[in-house]
Chains A and B, each alone.
Chain A
Amino acid sequence: MSDSKAKTTDFGFKTVAEDEKVSLVADVFHSVAAKYDVMNDLMSFGIHRLWKRFTIDCSAVRPGQSVLDLAGGTGDLTALFSKRVGPTGKVVLADINASMLNVGRDKLRDQGLVDNIDYVQANAEALPFADNSFDIITIGFGLRNVTNKSAALASMFRVLKPGGRLLVLEFSKPESELLSKAYDLYSFKLLPKMGQLIANDPDSYQYLAESIRMHPDQETLKQMMEQVGFAEVSYHNLTGGIVALHRGYKF
């Protein structure tokens, strides 16, 4: 059954077979899991915390709601949601990677957050949840690692309740030329060095920088969301467009 022209996709700037990307991405996150939180603070100067709080604000989460934090990794968004939905609500932290899930589970347990959180190892492209299950879905810095983004968005649409909303927090395209240059310099020269020094893992951070550049820009992602059925799709540029938060509704 082998096709002479096997389907390919991007892995950073490299082109790899589609079924290879999953395991390559897995390697990256197995390798960074332990140092993931420290690196996040360092690389973004702590600003990722504000991007995440902005995401929570845009979700307008209410006590009692059920939330899916997809590609939730070490659970920053899950922690914010868990406190807000309270004992009558529920948060599912789903990630494809067991190492990231473990780091997340330990961290949340240390913060005393246990009762309303479920941990599920799952691929965003084929979510193991019933239709219409969640009021809110977030995917923070996760979509860019997913091989088939449209399949993943469609899967999120399916498990979202009517009236529910999806929030995609992801690196995007800086609005100004100047910022873009500075950002390139930072991410290709400095990031891998920092990755080397702190996590002893320059390759993973080289991948990070490359995968950011390969990710669809604001307008493209907006269209992709609309194509799988999301309505009233809009986005906010944060920190000059280095990051964008897309929001779409299922009606």
Chain B
Amino acid sequence: MMQLWPQLLLSLAEKVLADIIAMDQEAKPRLKRLAGKQFAFQLQELKLRVVLTATDSTILLNQHQEPVDCAIQTDLASLKRLRDPNQLTQLIKQDAVQVEGDLQVAQQFSGFFQQLQPDWSGKLASYLGDGMAHKVEVSLKQMTRVIASKAQQLDQLSTELLQDELQLTPHPLEVEQFSVDVSRLQAKVDRLQQQLTALQE
């Protein structure tokens, strides 16, 4: 049974995503440009590789390892740095992010999600009426703020936890140190090799 959890998860996520996209009037025209493109995203910590297919009204979710227009693989720690687009090239150079295919497609998808602005209060108003919807919105905003600050704490905690406790993801400095160590070793081996050939001759 467990092996079907990605299908369960993605079918639910697909519905939620469709609802959110439908709540943004501006989303559809922007989707037109994306329609027919496929983008895959994988987090190293999860086995799941999510394939997003843009249609002219929504984004569909699947799961497989096969070729798409653009595929990106990264880990949790780098994902956070990815929010800053300027970091991208650096992350690619450090091999913290692997890109396969047309990077522009990834940027288009990411741009679409960043600009997504679902009209929650409009949706609420259609259920509750305007006055009530406004009240709910205000308290929701408060709640979001609280959640956001908690989430940030949690974020920090999880990064530290991953790095220090679980030692799953090496700190960039550690990676750097490792590379330095490797090239030193390389140099030593080279020298040794030369001495060895000299001896043999």
Contact = CB atoms under 8 A, between A and B. Distances in A.
A64 interface: yes
A53 interface: yes
Nearest to A49: B11
B8 A57 contact: no
B60 A83 contact: yes
Given A50-B7, A63-B36, A84 B1 contact: no
A62 B66 CA distance: 10
Interface residues of B, number: 22
A186 B162 CA distance: 46
Interface in A65-104: 83-84, 86-88
Contacts of A251: none
A50 B36 contact: no
B11 A86 contact: no
Contacts of B11: 49-50, 53
A28 B53 CA distance: 37
A119 B91 CA distance: 49
B38 A62 contact: yes
A202 to B, nearest CB: 28
B7 A54 contact: yes
Given A47-B4, A49-B11, A238-B3, A57 B63 contact: yes
B62 interface: yes
Contacts of A6: none
Give the interface SS of chain B, mostly helix, strand, loop or mixed.
mixed
B55 interface: yes
B10 interface: yes
A57 B7 contact: yes
The size class of the interface chain A forms with chain B is 20 to 34
B23 to A, nearest CB: 18
Contacts of B53: 63, 84
Given A57-B63, A83-B55, A83-B60, A239 B4 contact: yes
A56 interface: yes
B199 to A, nearest CB: 52
Interface string B77-109: 000000000000000000000000000000000
B35 interface: yes
A60 B66 contact: yes
B64 interface: yes
A185 interface: no
Contacts of A198: none
A24 interface: no
Given A50-B8, A57-B64, A86-B55, 15 more contacts: A47-B4, A49-B11, A50-B4, A50-B11, A53-B7, A54-B4, A54-B7, A56-B62, A57-B6, A60-B64, A63-B53, A64-B36, A87-B56, A239-B1, A239-B4
Interface of B: 1, 3-4, 6-8, 10-11, 35-38, 53, 55-56, 60, 62-64, 66-68
Interface of A: 47, 49-51, 53-54, 56-58, 60, 62-64, 83-84, 86-88, 236, 238-240
